[in-house]
Amino acid sequence: MKVIRFVLAVALLTALGAIQALEPAPMERFFIEFKPGTGAIIEAGVRADGGQVHHHFKRTDALAVSVTSRMAKRLGSDPNIVTMEPDARRYLAAKPAPRTIQPVLQSDPFVEQVVPYGVELVQAPLVWEQGFEGEGITVCIIDTGLYDQHEDIDSSFVLGGHSQDPNSQWFEDGDGHGTHVAGTVSAADNDIGVIGVSPGKASLFVVKIFGEDGLWTYASDLVAAAFTCADHGADIISMSLSGSSGPGAERKAFESLYNEDGILSVAAASNGGNRQRVFPASYDSVISVAAVDESKLVADFSNQNKWVELAAPGVDVWSTVPLVSNSWLFTGGNAYQGEPMEYAPYGLVTGQLADGGMCLATDTPGDWSGMAVLCERGDVTFAEKVATVMAGNGSAAVIYNNEPGALLGTLGEEGDWIVAIGISQQDGQAALAFLGQEATVQSSAPVPGSSYEPWGGTSMATPHVAGVAALLWSANPDWTNVQIREAMDKTALDLGEPGRDIAYGYGLVQADAALQYLLAKSTE
């Protein structure tokens, strides 16, 4: 009997080992620089080993790949590889105000067109008066896409776009960030809504690199987007995003775009409110933009470091957004707007409202059958909270924030989830008053329409600088990116310590002063 048990145990262990052997090893993503002429060999080797090749940048001798730790070790010893670094993440650099919907169709606050304070602060109207409004200049916006049917976006100046997300189109913007940025650059002068720095005259090309959740993307995806901008004739690249590390391959790509393509790249200094160096803003070939408010004071969230080059309005900036109604909690005669959890299914669920507390596995009640369960954010992941609701047979999970502001979240991966949304702390606490009452949880795809909202962040400051550059360049397309940059730096309104400082850089960008500088230089 002991022999039989031993044999069975060995067989079981062997079977378990076989199963484990069949499980794919986890992959990590890397940004690789290789010696000229060796890229095809390295790419073929990666594919032969079962790795993935995401991008092959022949013009800068670089690859973006996903490989196992074993494969990474082999690549690390390849003499043809110059550098091999983790493919860094890039995040949006916005701090949106609470998402109150502000439709504009002849309704308050925009019965008539308004000029946002930021457009005035950067002297854009003074340049318009001289006949220069950005015509003939292409601004490429790398962001969350563009709702191109917005009433304040002149579609005749939208050259097109490209989406790196196979599941969405460049002209879809479920997040709203890209549409807000585009409006600051180029909202039309059409008697409605707002007006951009280049009032509907600069041409726009859009590259969508963020999904509808607007969470994050990779540095290599950003480089691919920037090269796409160059391929479509961009003069200026606007990037309202940042990340904490800068792969050498990304740096070389932006150097190439600046020095060889003559493109002016502009990026957000980030919103950490600290002195951290962020990328791509901190590359020498990119203008780093800080945020100021209407009083020209640096925003408390704006990063301050020696790489900040210019400042621009970035607090309570009104601009274009799609009217989005993704998800709602309806209960007690109230409607609480939320955001769908990434990877959760769309759907409409009605049931009794229950309080799940923190929705920890140890707190699961006997039965939440058919109920919509409120969960407070904290202690465990969103996925674990939803799993707890599912374990209690709940039909929907509503997770509310544990700090002020909207809640955007992810369940981490695809799965057999229930409907799950995130709502604000204020709304979640208010909904607790209706426990036991009927509640409806709705999660659906974005519903587009034209709207306007005040957002803040260095994300909002960046397109002001991009728009000013477009105005200047339209006065003389023969001016170079170096000349445009020099003019903006030399004529910026000095707001901090005399000269360049860590908060404002050279100061608040001034369109008219820069134009006069360029015109004077042209006559020398």
Q: How far is CA 453 from the centre of its chain?
A: 17
Which CATH homologous superfamily contains domain 24-87?
Answer: Peptidase S8 propeptide/proteinase inhibitor I9 (3.30.70.80)
Listing from the earlier edge strand, what are the strands of the sheet with 217-218? 217-218, 89-92, 241-242
Name the one residue in this structure whose structure tokens are 């502001």.
Answer: 405
**pLDDT at residue 325, as a whole number:** 58
Best CA proximity match to 146, nearest among 210, 198, 97? 210
Topology, domain 92-322+450-522 = Rossmann fold (3.40.50)
3-state helix, strand, coil in the chain (%, to 5): 30, 25, 45
Identify whether the C-beta of residue 319 lies closer than 8 Å to the C-beta of residue 194: yes
Domain range summary for the chain, segments of one domain joined by +: 24-87, 92-322+450-522, 327-443
**Distance separating alpha carbons of residues 221 and 461, to the nearest angstrom:** 23
Tell me what pLDDT residue 324 has. 64
Q: How much is the pLDDT for 362?
A: 81
Give ∠ CA 490-142-447 in degrees, rounded to 5: 130
pTM (whole model) above 0.85:
no
| Tens of pLDDT, residue by residue, the chain (524 residues) | 444 443 444 444 444 454 444 567 799 999 999 999 999 999 999 999 999 999 999 999 999 999 999 999 999 999 999 999 999 999 988 644 433 333 333 333 455 799 999 999 999 999 999 999 999 999 999 999 999 999 999 999 999 999 998 888 999 988 889 999 999 999 999 988 999 999 989 999 999 998 766 678 999 999 999 999 999 999 999 999 999 999 999 999 999 999 999 999 999 999 999 999 999 999 999 999 999 999 999 999 999 999 999 999 999 999 999 876 567 899 988 888 888 888 999 888 999 999 999 999 887 666 899 999 999 999 899 999 999 999 999 999 999 999 887 788 899 998 999 999 999 999 999 999 999 999 999 887 656 678 888 899 999 999 999 999 999 999 999 999 999 999 999 999 999 999 999 999 999 999 999 999 999 998 88
What is the model's pLDDT at position 25? 79
pLDDT score, position 23: 61
CB-based contact 331:417 (threshold 8 Å)? no
Q: What is the pLDDT of residue 99?
A: 35
Between helix 248-259 and helix 219-231 the angle, nearest 10°, is 20
Rounded to the nearest 5°, which phi and psi values hold at 438? -70, 140
Q: Buried b vs exposed e over 174-185: b needs ≥16 C-beta within 10 Å?
A: bbbbbbbbbbbb
Written as one string, the DSSP assignment of 206-228 is EEE-S-TT---EEHHHHHHHHHH
> 157: helix, coil or strand?
helix
Query: How far, in Å, CA of 308 to CA of 287, rounded?
Result: 8
- How is domain 327-443 classified at the CATH fold level? Glucose Oxidase; domain 1 (3.50.30)
pLDDT at 111: 58
Identity at 248, one-letter amino acid code: G
Local structure of residue 285 (DSSP, 8 states): T
- What pLDDT is recorded for position 302? 96
